Amino acid sequence: MRLTRTTTLDPIPHLTCVCHSEGEIADILAKYAEAGISNTLALAGDPPRSIQNYDRKADAFRHAADLVRFIRRFNERGAHPDARGFGIGVAGFPEGHPDTPTGWTRWTI
């Protein structure tokens, strides 16, 4: 958030589903909104390397799409100073997600 105070850059903080509750994400979004941040990138995120056999079932969001829906609901509540709310970016795997067995690996190019 320092970047919004000290530069003219428009930072795009990354949010991940890993190790976060809905309350934690809501608090983070509120702080970003208060700081005037206008965009965010929603990612599934990698499991922490420090936690062996990490179980994603404990996370409030299993997939980035779940996190995007949550951010959209935040936007709909009008909690962002910009009436449009946060712009939401996502990332993907053009060749198919590594955990998806039916991805591009089945294609021979």
Per-residue pLDDT reduced to its tens digit, 37-49: 999 999 988 888 8
1 contacts 32 by C-beta, under 8 angstroms: yes
User: Are 12 and 5 spatial neighbours (Cβ–Cβ below 8 Å)?
Assistant: no
Type of residue at 104: W
pLDDT beyond 90 at 33: yes
Among 9, 11, 5, residue whose Cα is nearest residue 89: 11
- Burial of 48 (C-beta count, 10 Å sphere; 0-12/13-18/19+): exposed
Residue 77 has pLDDT above 60, yes or no: yes
72 pLDDT band, cuts 50/70/90, is very high
Q: State pTM to two decimals.
A: 0.80
Select the highest-mean-pLDDT range: 3-7, 37-41, 99-103. Answer: 37-41
Q: What percent of the chain stands above pLDDT 90?
A: 50
Mean pLDDT score of the chain: 85
Quick one: which of 74, 64, 60, 77 has its CA closest to 32? Answer: 74
The percentage of the chain sitting over the pLDDT mark of 70, rounded to a whole number, equals 82
13 Cβ contact partners less than 8 Å away, ≥ 6 residues apart:
32, 37, 40, 41
